[in-house]
Amino acid sequence: MIATTARPFSLGIDTVVKLSAVDCAALRSEGMRFAIRYLGSIDAHELATILGSGLAFMPVTYAKAYNGMSAVGRIRSLCIPEGATVWLDLEGETDPPGAIVAKVNAWAGQIIAGGYEAGLYVGAGCVLTSEELYGLRVTRYWDSCSRELDRNGKATAPKCDFCVTQLRPFNTIVGGVTVDVDVVQRDVLGRLPTWVTT
């Protein structure tokens, strides 16, 4: 397993569905090149299945999973090499903005200290402003297919823009699997996420 820079314009999926070898083969046949799955759900067998099918992989936390040390432990238990992008799912948060910033930064600090790249999924209900997003300790951003408005009713996006974008519609069927489809792209600083391959 190696961590390597993702290829721009690659299509992939994120899903809560546990992927089988048949699922992965079907996704590959539909043009998908990577899968994003949830820490705490994916196990070593499924990860081996994903990578063995030729799909690249990136992990994401569940929403409000701010324990970076726990995330690093799960990542290491899967033998994911250092340097890989680990995504924090930020959505449905009801805490004040300052508390959210503090929690995201603490999580990112623990991920970075573990040797990984901290990324943020900017999901539905994100109340942080564009400036607050860009000021976080994360260095990669993933745009959800929902339209995010900050607490002032303005569209929110970090100044560097996103390096993964989730496409509409969400919860679509690809290769017989319920997924969201994503595309990799360079952000305005030229950055790409780092995925895991064999």
Residue 11 has a pLDDT of 98
Q: What is the DSSP letter of 101?
A: H
For residue range 108-137, list pLDDT tens digits in order: 999 999 999 999 999 988 889 999 999 999
Confidence of residue 147 (pLDDT cuts 50, 70, 90): confident
Tell me what the mean pLDDT of segment 57-68 comes to: 96
The three-state secondary structure class of 130 is helix
Could you give the dihedral angle defined by the CA atoms of residues 164, 73, 116 and 122, in that order, rounded to the nearest 10 degrees?
30
Could you give the dihedral angle defined by the CA atoms of residues 103, 109, 114 and 115, in that order, rounded to the nearest 10 degrees?
130
Residue 72 has a pLDDT of 98
For residue range 70-87, list pLDDT tens digits in order: 999 999 999 999 999 999
Tell me what the mean pLDDT of segment 13-33 comes to: 98
